[in-house]
Structure formats: C-alpha cells, structure tokens
Amino acid sequence: MSQENVISVIIDAVRSQGDVPPEICDRITAETNIVRDLKLDSIAVMDFIMELETRFKTVVPLDAIADVQTVGDLATILTRNQATAHETRNSQTDVQV
Amino acid sequence: MLQKYGALKRARAQLLDAGSTDSDAQDPFDVRFETILGPAEAVLAGRKVLLFGTNNYLGLTFDAGCIEQAVAAVRGDGTGTTGSRIANGTYGSHARLERKLAQFLGRRDVMLFTTGYQANVGILPALAGADDYLLLDADSHASIYDGAKLSDASVTRFRHNDPDDLYRRLRFLADRPGDKLIVVEGIYSMLGDMAPLRELVAVKRETGAFLLVDEAHSLGVLGAHGRGLAEATGTEGDVDFVVGTFSKSLGGIGGFCASDLPDFDMLRLASRAYMFTASLPPAVIAGVTQALETLERRPELCADLARNAAHLYEGLAAAGFALGPTISPIISIRLNDTGLAAAFWNRLLQVGIYVNLALPPATPERQSLLRTSVSAAHTPAQIDQAIGAMTSIGLELGVLQDPSERYFSAAQ
C-alpha cells in the first residue's frame, strides 16, 4: 500500500473515532502533528493506534509509538510493520509447503 | 520547572469550580478524614460519613485479631526493617507469610513486595526481557503499564477483555523468537468487570504464551476459598503468575507474586523493585498473616461481600443508573460529564456518603465515574442509605428520570 493510501486510511480512522472535529479531519496531511494538531491525549493516541493495528492487521509496539509525531511517521510505522507481517505470512507458507 | 503542570492546574481548578459552589465543597483528590471509626464509617469535616470507596472488601482493617497480632509484632520486632531483604536480611515473619500465602494459593513459591504497585513494577521487567513480548489488556492498571515501561520487552495492548484481538496479535508474533506474556486482571478497578479467563486461557494454550493474572481486586473476593478469578473460573492450572495486593481485602499494605515455575526464586536477585526497597515492616506482615488466617477460617466473609455487592448493584440498577456489566464489589455509576460527576460526588459527601470520583483519562472510554466499593462490613441498612442518597441526588441533578416520567416515556 502506498504511503498516500495509508494516510487516507488513517484519516478515515480519525474521522470514525469521532474525537477530532470534521473540519480538522479535512486538513490532515502527512505533516499533521498528532498530539498538537489533532489534540489527542496519550490514551486517545494509544486507542487510535489500536484501531489502526486492527485495520492494517499489524502490531505496533508501544515504544515505537513514542517516536511517532506526525501522521506521516505513523504511516511509516504501519507500513514497515505491515511489510514484516507480509514476510511472516510468506515464511509461514514456505514452512507449510 | 513546574510550569509544565499549568494545564493540569487549570483542569483541577475547573473541576473544583464545577464540583460545587458551596463553601464546604471538598477537593475529590484531597479528602482528609479526621477519624476513621471503623471499616465502614469515618469523620470528615466534623460529620460522620459512610465509607463506600475504600476497597476494604472484607472489612478487616479493624479486625481484633489482626490488630492484636500487629501490636505484638511492633513490640517484638520493632517498627521497621530499615532495609531490603537482599541487603539487610529477611525476618522470620516475612518467610512465614510467604509460606502461608503459597499454601493458601496452592503455589510453589511466593515473593513479597512492599506494595501492590511495586509487585507489578518489579515483576514485569524481571519476567519479560529484551527479546520477549508483553501483551497487556488495554484497561490495565497504571502499575502494569509502568512495569511494562520499565521492561526491555516489546509491549503491545490488546482490546479490553477481547480474546480474539489477543489471539490475532499472538498469531502475528508467532514466529518471532522470545516468550510472550499475557497480562490481565481478575476484576478491573474502574468498572468492576472481570476478565474472560477461560477464553483467554484457550488463547494462551493455543499460542504457547505465558499468563499473568493480577488478582488485586479479586483476592478474598472471588472463588470458593477467596483465591480470586482463576479459582472461580477453574483456570488456576493455566495461570503461570498470580500478582496480588495486601492493601484491599487483607486490610494492610504490600504485594506479592506467586508461581509454580522452577527457578522463580531467581527473581529475588533480578527484580529491582524487590531488591532496592525496604521490606514490609513487622506489624504489617503480622496483620496480613492474621488476615489471611481469618479469610481461611471465615469463608462467610466472601459470602457477605457477595450479598452486599448484589444488594447495592441491584438497588442502583433498579433506580435506573448506568452501571458496569457485572455484579462485583466495585460498582460504578457511569456519567458522561466531568462537572456533573464532580457535583454529584460533592452532593453525596454533603449527605454523608463517601465514594470515589474517577475521571478521564484514568477511566475506560473517557467516562466520568462515581466509583463505589462494597465491604462485607456494610450493613443492609447502610447500603439502603447509600442507594437512597444516590437515587435522590440522581433525580435532583437530572441523571435519573422520575419513575413516573420513565414509565410515560417508555409507553410513548
């Protein structure tokens, strides 16, 4: 999935979570700062990332979240972990074959 | 240096304003009791109040036997141990309590900690190292989050009480080397709901993970012998580590971790919160040891507690309050407005009922909660008094609809 597509899934997740006003959701870009611009507290960020983990079928460790500042950072982490997930599935298939 | 707390200071001031305009309004986070009269009553601002927010589940803080043993221990062994067990030695009473607790729980080993908070902060980093994974229920207590933060393990949260989400995560991590430790609680402290332990155990078995259950609020509360949720659900054989506290049902302070795993004893040389803290003082150890004996000798205390919990829960549910999903000794009225919750809390105190005010972000789904905890020491009349006060204030503040209006709107 391209970074652009990942960001559109993130925006969709922000919208459906309902904590961020729609007019702010309309202005989200890769540069949007999650805490400052979306005004999410630490628990809201963790809950939001849990929602994205489900959508992307991935796992993001909490210590990795500490480095996430912008929507772009988040997209990178989700994509990176997804790539690992893909490798995992392939390697499992290899074992089964 | 402390400017960073400006927003916190403003939020606190706002909360105090919302709570009450009366001059006798209390700060929910700085309640000062003048005298504690017993497990269910205290004096606050010159008035007697009923205590419905203590976690004193079995009412043992004033148990005559516990007091007697604690007094004898002060006279015999002194007021404090003045150091950690690793550096300054173990007292006979520490070792006796560990043996007694191991016997009570049916476990091979028990390690004591100086508080329940330290049990999690000490045990999680010692168990889960750099290549391991901690999988925490999202609604875990702060001590579990803090313990996880101190660990070198990779930490992930799964959706509260959701075995499928846990399974998905463990499958994702399946081919990664390292041990996986699932961490859940017997009873969750905010809403009083319980972990679906049988379903979680099925996930644990299928994925080969380890399981830690924090029975802080369920020890002395659930199970035929009071051993907690694992006993009540018949899953003790699948729980690798039991964490608990002495500061709730056992009426003292301190924490523990119990396990059957070989070499569990090595954690005494690996857990920093165990090694670098002064050990529990003799009076506390003696009081807790006696409380454990009382729990064994008087199982009816658990039955009294269960009856009282059902009494309060059913009374508040019948009045129309939104509560947690399960009857347990923690019963919370769910409100959506922080100011309303603070006002409700203050009004309750004015009529002599003390409960806990729990606010976001410490609460699930950002709810504002009037959290009550029931004790075996409450009388039916005291519980009726609490239900009556909560109902009339609920009506006064518009949290509840008048019963006749409720009937009318249902008919429409």
The pLDDT tens digits of the residues spanning A60-84 come to 998 888 888 999 999 998 887 664 5
Note the pLDDT of residue B399: 95
Across A66-80, B29-43, B296-310, B332-346, least confident range: A66-80
Higher pLDDT, A7 or B291: B291
Which residue of chain B has the CA closest to A40? B361
Catalytic annotation present for B160: no
**Tens digits of per-residue pLDDT, B98-119?**
999 999 999 999 999 999 999 9
Note the pLDDT of residue B409: 62
Catalytic annotation present for B217: yes
DSSP string, B134-179: EEEETT--HHHHHHHHHSSSEEEEE-TT-HHHHHHHHHHTTTSSS-
Complete edge-to-edge strand list for the sheet that includes strand B241-245:
B109-113, B255-259, B241-245, B210-214, B180-185, B133-137, B154-158
Kindly state the average pLDDT of the residues B141-170. 96
Note the pLDDT of residue B407: 62
Residues of A in contact with B172 (CB under 8 A): 57-59, 85, 88
Q: How many CB pairs under 8 A join A and B?
A: 40
Distance of residue B323 Cα from the nearest chain A Cα, in angstroms? 22
Q: With bands split at pLDDT 50, 70 and 90, how would you rate the model's confidence at B23?
A: low
Q: With bands split at pLDDT 50, 70 and 90, how would you rate the model's confidence at A95?
A: very low
**Tens digits of per-residue pLDDT, B354-373?**
999 999 888 988 899 999 99
Task: Output helix, strand, coil percentages for chain B, rounded to the nearest 5.
Answer: 45, 15, 40
pLDDT at B318 over 60: yes
pLDDT at A86 over 60: no
Preceding peptide of B360 cis, ω within 30°: no
- Count CA within 13 A, CB hemisphere, residue B25: 15
Distance of residue B70 Cα from the nearest chain A Cα, in angstroms? 41
Q: How far is CA B373 from CA A89, B54, B114, B197, B349, in A?
A: 47, 6, 23, 22, 15
Which of these, B70, B67, B69, B37, lies nearest to B54 by C-alpha position?
B37
Note the pLDDT of residue A82: 64
Chain A: residues touching B (Cβ < 8 Å) = 41-44, 46-47, 50, 53-54, 57-63, 85, 88, 91-92
ipTM of this predicted complex?
0.79
Residues in chain A: 97
Which member of B169, B174, B361 has the closest CB to residue A41? B361
Q: What span, in angstroms and rounded, lies between the C-alpha atoms of B27 and B132?
A: 43
Question: CA-CA-CA-CA torsion for A64, A67, A69, A73, nearest 10 degrees?
Answer: -60
Q: What is the mean pLDDT of chain B?
A: 95
pLDDT at A96 over 50: no
Catalytic-labelled residue, pool B180, B248, B311, B378:
B248
Catalytic annotation present for B225: no
Which member of B156, B168, B174 has the closest CB to residue A61? B156
Q: What is the CA B115 to chain-centroid distance, rounded?
A: 12
Kindly state the average pLDDT of the residues B56-70. 98
Residues of A in contact with B168 (CB under 8 A): 54, 57
Note the pLDDT of residue B304: 96
Contact between A62 and B361 using a beta-carbon 8 Å cutoff: no
